[in-house]
C-alpha cells in the first residue's frame, strides 16, 4: 500500500512539474537575426528581432483589472460626445466584475474623483454616480485629472492586476501644466509605477502629439476617435486587450557580445548603454505578438565560424501565476562564403518588420513636414514610402503570403494617408497610425 501511495505522490509531483513547464510557455520568445548567416569579412547592417507572443492557455481565466477612467467633461464635450463618453463609462462598468477595481475621475476646470477606486460589486451605484456627475462644462484641467486618475490606480496598485488608465479628451489642456513635456513626465511617473495610460482623442480639436506622447511614454494605447459614436467600439476593443493581459512589467535585456555594435532601436524606445540594450514593455496580451527590433553591425568573422551575437534576457511578471519569470536565449551568427546560403538563411519576416519600422520613421518625417505646413512635401514623402514598400514586396519572391499582406497593407495605408493630406483630421489619423505602427505589435 505504502509503495502505491509513494508512486501516486511521485506521479502527482511529476504531473505538477509538467504543468509548470507548460504554463511557462505562456510567453514564447523568439530571438532571430534577419541574416543569421553572413558573408565573411563584410559586416553589413543586420537586424535582431526579439519577439514575444502571448499564449492564452486557459482562456476563461482572466487577470483582474485596476482601471481608472479619466473623462474630459469640458464645455467642448457637450452634446453627443459627453453622452457617448457616459455610455462608454457605463459599458466599462458592465464589462468588469467584482474582482476588478474601477475609479472614475472627471475634469473640467478642476478635477474631481467621481468614483474612488472600488471593487465593481455595486454596478448600479457606480452607474448612478456616472449619470449624476458627468455633464459638460468648463475648461480642461488635463494634468489634474490625469494626476488624480494615477493616484486612484496607485491606491489599489498590485502586481497581479492590469493597472491602467483610460484618458478621454477632446480638447487642448488649458488649465494647469499643459505642455507635451510636462504631461510626458507625468506619463513617465505613471510608467514607473507600472501604470499604462491609454489615450482616446475625440474629434478634431485635441493635441495629438500630447495624447500620443502620454500613451507612448506609459506604454499605453492611443486611438483617434473621429466619430464619438465609435467610442463604445474603441472601449470594447481596449477591454478585450486588457482582459487578455497575461504578463506585465516585461523587461528585455539584450547583451551584445564579441564586438557587435548596436546602431539603433527601430520603433520602440529603449536604453542603449554600451553593449547593453534594455527595453521595457508594460503589458503583454495573449492575442498579440510584440517585438523589439535592434539594428546591429556584427563583427568580422571567418568562414565556418559561429559566434554568439547576443544574449537576450527576458524578465516579466506572469499575471496568471502571480510570479516573476525569467528566460534567457542566445543568438548566434555564422559566417560563410556562399552567397546562396546567405540568401536562403534570410528571415523574411524580420526584414518585413524592419521595413515597416523604417517606413514608420520615414512617415514620422512626413508628419513633421505636415506640422511645419509643408503639406505637399509630406504627401510626396508618404507616397514615396508607400511605393518603396510595394517595390520590396515585388522584389522578394520568397516572401510568405502573410508577410506580403502586411507590407501591402501598410503600402495601401500610406497611399490612403497621402491622399488624405488635405483632410482636416489628417495629422490625427497619421499620429494614430504611427503610434500603432511603432507599438510594434502584431495582432494575431
Query: Could you list the residues that contact other proteins (CB under 8 A)?
Result: 109-111, 113, 141, 143-144, 147-148, 150-151, 175-178, 182, 185-186, 188-189, 192-193
**Cβ atoms within 10 Å, residue 332:** 14
Q: Are 99 and 62 in contact (CB under 8 A)?
A: no
Find the shortest distance in angstroms from Cβ 174 to other proteins: 9
Between 204 and 278, name the residue whose CB sits nearer to other proteins. 278
Between 148 and 438, name the residue whose CB sits nearer to other proteins. 148
Find the shortest distance in angstroms from Cβ 161 to other proteins: 20
Find the shortest distance in angstroms from Cβ 273 to other proteins: 9
Find the shortest distance in angstroms from Cβ 361 to other proteins: 20
Between 220 and 386, name the residue whose CB sits nearer to other proteins. 220
Between 2 and 192, name the residue whose CB sits nearer to other proteins. 192
Instruction: Determine the Cα–Cα distance for residues 237 and 414; give it in Å rounded to an integer.
Output: 24
Find the shortest distance in angstroms from Cβ 303 to other proteins: 41
Residue of 83, 149, 144 whose CA lies nearest to 108? 144
Please state whether beta strands 276-285 and 271-273 pair in parallel, antiparallel, or not at all (unpaired): antiparallel
Query: What is the SS3 string spanning 114-139?
Result: EEEEEECCCHHHHHHHHHHHCCCCCC
Residue of 47, 43, 37 whose CA lies nearest to 343? 37
Between 193 and 383, name the residue whose CB sits nearer to other proteins. 193
Find the shortest distance in angstroms from Cβ 186 to other proteins: 5
Between 76 and 379, name the residue whose CB sits nearer to other proteins. 76
Find the shortest distance in angstroms from Cβ 146 to other proteins: 9
Q: Are 63 and 246 in contact (CB under 8 A)?
A: yes
Find the shortest distance in angstroms from Cβ 194 to other proteins: 11
Between 185 and 305, name the residue whose CB sits nearer to other proteins. 185
List the grid coordinates of 248.
Answer: 506585465
Residue of 227, 214, 213, 218 whose CA lies nearest to 367? 213
Between 112 and 404, name the residue whose CB sits nearer to other proteins. 112
* CB proximity list for 441: less than 8 A, separation 6 or greater: 288, 289, 290
Find the shortest distance in angstroms from Cβ 219 to other proteins: 15
Between 219 and 432, name the residue whose CB sits nearer to other proteins. 219
Between 15 and 188, name the residue whose CB sits nearer to other proteins. 188
Find the shortest distance in angstroms from Cβ 89 to other proteins: 20
Residue of 235, 318, 289, 291 whose CA lies nearest to 61? 318
Amino acid at each position: 500500500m505504502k509503495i502505491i501511495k509513494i508512486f501516486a505522490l511521485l506521479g502527482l509531483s511529476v504531473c505538477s512539474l509538467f504543468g509548470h513547464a507548460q504554463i511557462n510557455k505562456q510567453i514564447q520568445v523568439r530571438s532571430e537575426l534577419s541574416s543569421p548567416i553572413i558573408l565573411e569579412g563584410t559586416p553589413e547592417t543586420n537586424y535582431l528581432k526579439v519577439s514575444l507572443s502571448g499564449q492564452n492557455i486557459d482562456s476563461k481565466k482572466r487577470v483582474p483589472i485596476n482601471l481608472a477612467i479619466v473623462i474630459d467633461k469640458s464645455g467642448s464635450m457637450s452634446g453627443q460626445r459627453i453622452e457617448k463618453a457616459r455610455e462608454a463609462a457605463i459599458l466599462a462598468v458592465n464589462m468588469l466584475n467584482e474582482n476588478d477595481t474601477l475609479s472614475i475621475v472627471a475634469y473640467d476646470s478642476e478635477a474631481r474623483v467621481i468614483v474612488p477606486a472600488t471593487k465593481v460589486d455595486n454596478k448600479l451605484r457606480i452607474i448612478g454616480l456616472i449619470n449624476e456627475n458627468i455633464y459638460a462644462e468648463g475648461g480642461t484641467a488635463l494634468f489634474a485629472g490625469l494626476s488624480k486618475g494615477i493616484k486612484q490606480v496607485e491606491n489599489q496598485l498590485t502586481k497581479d492586476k492590469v493597472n491602467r488608465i483610460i484618458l478621454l479628451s477632446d480638447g487642448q489642456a488649458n488649465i494647469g501644466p499643459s505642455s507635451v513635456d510636462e504631461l510626458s513626465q507625468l506619463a513617465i511617473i505613471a510608467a514607473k509605477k507600472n501604470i499604462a495610460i491609454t489615450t482616446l482623442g475625440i474629434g478634431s480639436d485635441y493635441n495629438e502629439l500630447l495624447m500620443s506622447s502620454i500613451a507612448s511614454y506609459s506604454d499605453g494605447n492611443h486611438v483617434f476617435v473621429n466619430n464619438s459614436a465609435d467610442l463604445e467600439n474603441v472601449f470594447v476593443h481596449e477591454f478585450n486587450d486588457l482582459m487578455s493581459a497575461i504578463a506585465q512589467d516585461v523587461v528585455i535585456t539584450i547583451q551584445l557580445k564579441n564586438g557587435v555594435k548596436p546602431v539603433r532601436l527601430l520603433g520602440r524606445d529603449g536604453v542603449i548603454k554600451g553593449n547593453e540594450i534594455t527595453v521595457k514593455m508594460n503589458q503583454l496580451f495573449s492575442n498579440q505578438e510584440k517585438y523589439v527590433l535592434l539594428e546591429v553591425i556584427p563583427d568580422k568573422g571567418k568562414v565556418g565560424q559561429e559566434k554568439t551575437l547576443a544574449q537576450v534576457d527576458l524578465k516579466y511578471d506572469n499575471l496568471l501565476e502571480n510570479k516573476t519569470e525569467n528566460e534567457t536565449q542566445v543568438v548566434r551568427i555564422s559566417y560563410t562564403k556562399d552567397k546562396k546560403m546567405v540568401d536562403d538563411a534570410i528571415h523574411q519576416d524580420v526584414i518585413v518588420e524592419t521595413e515597416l519600422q523604417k517606413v514608420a520613421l520615414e512617415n514620422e518625417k512626413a508628419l513633421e513636414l505636415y506640422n511645419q505646413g509643408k503639406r505637399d512635401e509630406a504627401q510626396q514623402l508618404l507616397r514615396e514610402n508607400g511605393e518603396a514598400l510595394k517595390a520590396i514586396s515585388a522584389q522578394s519572391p520568397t516572401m510568405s503570403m502573410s508577410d506580403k499582406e502586411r507590407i501591402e497593407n501598410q503600402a495601401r495605408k500610406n497611399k490612403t494617408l497621402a491622399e488624405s493630406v488635405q483632410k482636416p483630421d489628417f495629422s490625427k489619423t497619421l499620429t494614430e497610425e504611427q503610434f500603432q505602427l511603432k507599438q510594434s505589435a502584431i495582432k494575431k
